[in-house]
Structure 1
Amino acid sequence: MEVNLLDLLNPYLWAVNLRNFLYDRNVLKVCKLGVPVISVGNLSVGGTGKSSLVRYISEYLSKKFHVCILSRGYGRKTKGTLLVSYKGELKVGWEEAGDEPFMLAKVLKGVSVVVDEIRCRGGFYAVEKLRAEILILDDGFQHRRIYRDFDILLLKKEDLKDHLLPYGRLREPLSSLFRADAIVLSYQELNEWDIKLEKPVFKLYRKNWRILDGEGNPVHELKNLEVIAFAGLGDNEQFFKTLDNLGIKVIKKISFRDHYDYKDLKLSQDKLYITTLKDIVKLPSYKNVYYLDYSLDVPGLIELLENAIIRRHRAGSSAGRATDS
């Protein structure tokens, strides 16, 4: 991957490269948590589907293992190690947890969620106190302090022509792709695209779109009505574009900044609104506000994870039992 002149002159590039160099040479040490760790991350600021992919992987792995999602808890009003949920049982609200960890905790049954700004500390808590068997790092690609067994990197087509911060939205140069064990190409249902790399590449499709009310019940008749759409995501245009593609009659689109808290939101009782799961978990129960949800399909990824992680987990468990005896 070539680096353009604008990025070469960017001090941010040299700071990122120095940090990665120190980790690559083991000058900066990592912590190992004793259980398989899967990292899900990206290169750019904003939405590429990280939380959706974490949800997808967690739902599958939790059928066999106690999975704990570990997040920094961006924007939360607390500090330190915080248990957001234990095997699907919510322990705190979204303001204490942060909106994305709370969202995952609310929809994932049987999965635990922990937030900690010092993720090694949070990871040890999950393993030692909660007896987590697999950890999933949400937005973990740049967080190299924790050793991971498998690094999944989400990529948007727009990333290929973007620039590093502050001139663009990239947090790392495209050359950092080499660190990933697998690449997942986002938003294939909007615009199918591909890339050739010497590592596994998978395609992420969003499907089974459904409109739900605040209690999670399907609302079928909304497709024939006019709605106001609003969102506070890293990339709101993806949400609005999806509504257009689904044929939903949107009369107004309101875009808020990512992680918006909606404290000043004023809604009209005679209007219908549609938003996202991440946004609706921060709202009180409105009868005229609905959200769009969906399922993921990433053909081949789960099978690769089973081979790379599950077998390693079983081998480690067998060795542990033999040692204990």
Structure 2
Amino acid sequence: MPRSLNMRLNFLDLLNPYSFAVMLRNSLYDRKVFKVCKLSIPVISVGNLCVGGTGKSSLVRYIAEHFSEKFHVCILSRGYKRKSKGTLLVSHRGDIKARWEEAGDEAFMLAKILRNVSVVVDENRCRGSSYAINKLGAELIILDDGFQHRKMHRDLDLLLIREKDLKDHLLPWGRLREPLSSIVRADAIILSYQDIKEWDIEVPKPVFKLYRREWKVRDIWGNPLKKVEDFEFIAFAGIGDNEQFFNTLEKMRIKILKKISFRDHYHYKNFEISSKHLYITTLKDVVKLPPYENIYYLDYSVDVPGLLDFVEHAIIKFNRAGSSAGRATDS
């Protein structure tokens, strides 16, 4: 049975000063006190309510791969924890232009795996989008982790949520960046990790379900490892939800000698690799490491039935409106 969603703030969150700050900021945007920048090309935002671990990067990859066959897609990110400032071109149609430390691990990961897509990072996303359009000739922008970045107008707002988000609390007492009531801003809801457990909710929005499929263990060159069951690994990760990674390995019946958990976006500067063991990690982590031959990573494809048609309809609607009325880039 679909779960009926209670979007009212509970008593604990009502006492949270962070809750007041979030609601005030959203109210000022809703009332158009804060201005937004609007682009001459469609903008698809992919975001969530919690801090990390919902599958945003995987969904961005899924959408970008599909629409790169029709458009010059540019992924725009702030480049979280990067060692650079301002507008930075991470890749141009798959040609890498920056190091992961300059770009941030998630932006660099997407640049490495997407062959015909450009990636730009900028803490000022309006400025970054202007660069993508005027310098790169971008035709479609995917705003990575964009739900809270309300400064930029988006033509489609996709919101990922996990089942455990429904019982969580706002920061700093929980992991939610916004209350569940913020769901009303989204154009569509994507329910994450249906491959672990099927779940559903009742909301007055289009709802799609995200499944991870075709799990593979790959070496540093991207080649799949055959007969994975014959090997034993030390598993390590520094992502938003390390336990989910470890649980997935167990579900795949991969033999694990040891588990090592690091904080999200870990830099691995002092991480020592022993030649006596095999290691397995995530794609986000492996791009930050030297090309050790005994390190493997877990990869998978994403399937969100019906979502690509939904996104394409929004792009067509934007282009039709633009051709009849015309739009101007606000830099």
TM-score, normalised with respect to structure 1: 0.97
Aligned match for 1:310, one of 305, 313, 316: 316
- Match of 1:97? 103
AA matched with 1:181: D
Distance 1:236 1:250 in 2: 14
Q: Which ranges in structure 1 are unaligned for 5 or more consecutive residues?
A: none
* Aligned equivalent of 1:262: 268
Tell me: higher relative CO, structure 1 or 2? Use CA pairs within 8 A at least 6 residues apart.
2
SS of equivalent residue, structure 1 residue 214: coil
Partner of 2:277: 271
Between the aligned partners of 1:97 and 1:2, the Cα distance in structure 2 is 38
Please point out which of 146, 151, 155 is paired with 1:145. 151
Match of 1:299 among 305, 312, 320: 305
Partner residue of 2:244? 238
Give, in angstroms, the shift of residue 318 of structure 1. Answer: 7.2
Correspondent of 1:182 among 178, 188, 205 = 188
Matches of 1:9 and 1:306, distance apart in 2: 42
- The amino acid across from 1:70 in the alignment is L
**1:62 and 2:68 correspond:** yes
Counterpart amino acid of 2:197?
N
State the percentage of identical aligned residues.
69
Question: Which 5+ residue runs of structure 2 have no aligned equivalent?
Answer: 1-6
**1:225 and 2:231 matched:** yes
Q: Where do 1:1-325 residues align within 5 Å?
A: 1-313=7-319, 316-317=322-323
Structure 1's 219 and 145: CA in aligned 2 closer, same or farther, altered over 3 A?
A: same
Shift of 1:310: 3.1
Change in CA separation of 1:314 and 1:111 when aligned onto 2, cut-off 3 Å: farther
The amino acid across from 1:145 in the alignment is K
Q: Distance in 2 between matches of 1:189 and 1:178?
A: 26
SS class of match (1:84): strand
RMSD: 1.2
| Deviation, structure 1 residue 311 | 3.9
Deviations 1:244-268 (A, max 9, x none): 1111011211000000010100111
Q: Distance in 2 between matches of 1:288 and 1:314?
A: 52
Give, in whole Å, the separation in 2 of the partners of 1:317 and 1:7. Answer: 45
Once the two structures are TM-superposed, the CA of residue 316 in structure 1 deviates from its matched residue by 2.6
Provide the secondary structure at the position in 1 that maps to 2:152.
coil
1:120 counterpart letter in structure 2: C
Distance 1:105 1:295 in 2: 17
